[in-house]
Amino acid sequence: MPAPILLLQDIHVTFGNTALLDGAALSVEPGERLCLVGRNGSGKSTLLKVAAGLMEADAGTRFAQPGATIRYLPQEPSLAGYADTHAYVEAGLMPGDDPARAYYLLGKLGLSGAETPETLSGGEARRAALARTLAPKPDILLLDEPTNHLDLLAIEWLEGELKSLRSALVLISHDRRFLENLSRATVWLDRGETRRLEQSFAGFETWRDQVLEQEEIERHKLDRKIAMEEDWLRYGVSARRKRNQNRLARLHAMRRGRREALGPTGSVKMTVSEAEQGGTRVIDAKRISKSFGDNSVVQDVSLRIHRGERVAIVGPNGAGKTTLLNMLTGRLEPDSGNVKIGINVTMARLDQTRTVLEPDDTLANVLTGGRGDHILVGTEMKHVVSYMKDFLFSAQQARSPVKVLSGGERARLLLAKVLAQPSNLLVLDEPTNDLDLETLDLLEEMIDEYPGTVLLVSHDRDFLDRVATSVLMAEGGGRFIQYAGGYSDMVAQRGSGVEAKTVEKPEKTETQKDKPARPAPKRKMNFSDKHDLEKLPGRLAELEKKIALLEQKLAAPDLYARDPKAFSALSQELADAQAAHAAGEERWLELEMLREEIEGG
């Protein structure tokens, strides 16, 4: 096996009386793709800073191969001392690098290079720092939340850019799809220690839940007491995830209904003339448009939203998503057309800017408004501590001031405040910003259980796939088209992600104009297809057992030191089994879609 180019062993870091890292480890080989995961506050950013050499651990060893280039993307970069963003990015280049790469990266991230540090927003500074980090194509990239403040267009570009690099990657992100698409192994930081899974993030949550369940069994065997608060914070989310199957089944049923209502083309305008179906009308917009100067932001959009739907507005930054959202909810008057909001519609809203929280106010006061210890959630009166636990806050935090919370915890608190407001229309503008994976799980479950309608804007593809019944896609020039389903469904119907454009059909030749159009031949399933469809589930189950067995063998802590050849052989066997499983799944999904197409035709 190749020697690691970066190695951390037995890393200890203590803040005050809290041991943040307690024997953590990290090993990075050339070209390796790792994701570093863990709850907010678990020490992921601290471990990455130690890896980058920017912070010294209290104990432990850090080794980097001599001459290895390491670049680190911080969460809060500083551009002080640079004339503009181009000078800042150019300073990150190494001798021999192409100077044009600085402009290329800035352009892809929505910057011109002329922006000065004092005029930059936090999001623009992050994008400039990302361009600087990517500019030299180093041996190792350490990226802390690289998708923050990026729109879908930039996120999909960044994925492609990172896949094309030969650099090793260590990623921290709350974007599940981003981690699944880029990682090949997962390092889990939990209670100060690290564990490694030789799989992408796609296999992490199932593995983690199995580990936690086994720990719980062992604790009961030892008859040791577990503090109730810690038990809830660590095990509550995994227990809730077991209800996902029912939630997804309901979502698929809603999407089928929406697909039937929209028809095959998914055009927004088709919904205007349709008879009202599926319950009370919540929002009815007819041919609304909005321009700012010569810029047409929303052009001739018609849309009808019924009770219970979850409609997502998607597109690049500056495409008019928030403008359309504000018109649909009555905050902004259209230049032409009209919007009717249904009778007795009560909105609760989470804005992109987020409400300002008073730093000295306690968490309990934020939620109750200072009125006692109880809060009305829907029609149910709940004790504030009980409600806080739903959002993974402990009882001890109820009297803590807001100023001690992390950014992710503040986002979680605002979400709890918004969801407690009486409403039947929930308006969420970028609700996933700064939320960790556990809180995203809770948000998805609460949206599923919410009895009203949800209207949201988001750049999180996995979140959209898990909650949306339809997607309004910004197609450019102020046009929006509605597609049934989540983000992946939209991509399948549209042909590609947000960068795709409508392809114009070539003009017919004179001879083609005279010929009647022939119907497309109906696809059929041959003997091989039928055989594969029948046998693949069993084959995939066998591969899953094999993968689990190989992972169990590789998890032996002394295997590499005891028998490096066996470790290497098992690692290769695991990679082959995972590749076979991925190919088998792809084939099975293709055949299932073909079967549904034939049966539906």
| Per-residue pLDDT reduced to its tens digit, 503-527 | 333 344 444 444 444 444 445 677 7
Whether 365 and 460 share a structural domain: no
When mean pLDDT is compared over 179-188, 493-502, 546-555, the highest value belongs to 179-188
Which residues does 187 contact at the CB level (< 8 Å), separation at least 6?
Answer: 26, 34, 35, 36, 37, 194, 195, 196, 197
Write down the pLDDT at residue 404: 82
Average per-residue pLDDT for the chain = 81
**How many CB atoms are closer than 10 A to CB 372?**
10
Whether 223 is covered by a domain: the verdict is: no
Identify the three-state secondary structure at position 469: coil
Structure tokens at 418: 């918004």
Last residue of a domain, one of 375, 403, 422: 422
Q: Which residue has the higher pLDDT, 288 or 443?
A: 288
- Provide the residue range defining the domain that includes 471: 244-346+425-501
* 361 and 338 fall within a common domain: no
What total number of domains does the chain contain?
Answer: 4
Q: Which residues contact 319 (CB under 8 A, 6 or more apart)?
A: 474, 476
Digit-coded pLDDT (tens) for 297-315: 999 999 999 989 999 999 8
Residue 139 pLDDT: 94
Query: By the 8 A CB rule, do 137 and 70 touch?
Result: no
Q: How far apart are CA 230 and CA 66, in angstroms?
A: 42
Residue type for position 44:
K
Question: In degrees, to the nearest 5, what angle opens at C-alpha 108 toward C-alphas 105 and 110?
Answer: 110
For a pLDDT cut of 90, what percent of the chain falls above it?
37
What's the average model confidence in pLDDT over 98-104?
90
Q: Could you give the CA distance from residue 471 to residue 403 in angstroms, rounded to a whole number? A: 37
In this prediction, residue 508 carries a pLDDT of: 41
pTM (predicted TM-score) = 0.69
- Give yes or no: residues 413 and 497 share one domain: no
The pLDDT score that the predictor gives to residue 42 is: 84
> Beta-carbon neighbour count of residue 435 at 10 Å?
22
pLDDT of the residue at 544: 82
Q: Strands, E, within 45-184: which ranges?
A: 59-64, 70-73, 140-144, 168-172
* 320 is a domain residue: yes
What is the pLDDT at residue 511? 41
Q: Classify residue 516: in a domain, yes or no.
A: no
Pairing of strands 425-429, 470-476: unpaired
Indicate if 161 and 184 belong to the same structural domain: yes
Q: Which residue has the higher pLDDT, 255 or 264?
A: 255
* Strand order across the beta sheet in which 6-15 lies: 18-28, 6-15, 59-64
Model pLDDT for residues 208-246, shown as the tens digit of each residue: 988 888 877 776 665 544 444 445 445 454 555 555 556
Asked if 588 and 537 touch (Cβ cutoff 8 Å), the reply is yes
Q: How confident is the model at residue 332 (pLDDT cuts 50, 70, 90)?
A: very high
Q: What average pLDDT does this structure show over 83-90?
A: 94
Q: Taking residues 259-267, what's their average pLDDT? A: 50
Tell me: pLDDT of 70 over 90. yes
What does the alpha-carbon distance between residue 190 and residue 201 come to, in Å, rounded to a whole number?
16
Query: What are the tokens at 80?
Result: 């002080």
pLDDT at 232: 46
Domain edge (last residue) among 366, 399, 422? 422
Looking at the fold, whether 378 and 475 belong to one and the same domain comes out as no
pLDDT digits (tens, 9 = 90+) for 343-394: 888 888 887 665 667 888 999 998 988 888 888 876 778 899 988 888 878 8
Q: Are residues 192 and 122 in the same domain?
A: yes
* Separation CA 492–CA 596 (nearest Å): 15
- CATH number, domain of 195, equals 3.40.50.300
In a domain? residue 105: yes
Residue 339, φ and ψ in degrees, nearest 5: -125, 130
Asked if the structure places residue 201 within a domain, the reply is yes
Residue 298 is predicted with a pLDDT of 94
CB neighbours (10 Å) of residue 96? 6
Q: Which residues contact 441 (CB under 8 A, 6 or more apart)?
A: 237, 240, 241
Domain final position from 374, 391, 422: 422
Q: How far apart are CA 427 and CA 326, in angstroms?
A: 10
User: What is the phi-psi region of residue 137: left when phi exceeds 0, alpha when psi lies from -120 to 50, beta otherwise?
Assistant: left
pLDDT at 575 over 90: no
Whether residue 340 is found in the same domain as residue 194: no
Q: Is residue 257 part of a domain?
A: yes
Which tens digit of pLDDT belongs to each residue from 123-172?
788 899 999 999 988 999 999 999 987 888 889 999 999 999 999 999 99
Choice between 573 and 30, residue whose per-residue pLDDT is larger: 30
Residue 57 shares a structural domain with residue 190: yes
* Cα separations in angstroms, 289 against 323, 397, 583: 10, 47, 46
Task: Identify the CA nearest to 472 among candidates 258, 303, 229.
Answer: 303
Question: CB-side exposure of 381: number of CA atoms within 13 Å?
Answer: 4
Percent over 70 (pLDDT), the chain: 81
User: Quick one: pLDDT at residue 506?
Assistant: 37
Q: Which residue has the higher pLDDT, 442 or 233?
A: 442
Instruction: Judge if 335 and 483 occupy the same domain.
Output: yes
Question: What are the CA-CA distances from residue 160 to residues 143, 501, 579 (Å)?
Answer: 15, 18, 20
Do 404 and 430 have their domain in common?
Answer: no
Q: Is residue 567 part of a domain?
A: yes
Which residues are within 8 A (CB) of 491 and not within 5 positions of it... i.e. 6 or more apart?
497
Q: Is the pLDDT of residue 431 over 90?
A: no
- Whether residues 437 and 471 share a domain: the answer is yes
- What is the domain-level CATH number for residue 574? 1.10.287
pLDDT at 266: 38
Residue 230 located in a structural domain: no
329 and 475 inside one domain: yes
Confidence of residue 249 (pLDDT cuts 50, 70, 90): low
| Exposure class string for 480-497: b at 16+ Cβ within 10 A, else e | bbbbbbbbebbbebbeeb
Worst-scoring range by mean pLDDT, 23-32, 224-233, 252-261? 224-233
Q: Which of 468, 462, 433 is nearest to 448 (CA)?
A: 468
Cα 159-162-165 angle, rounded to 5 deg: 150
Contact 309, 448 (CB under 8 A): no
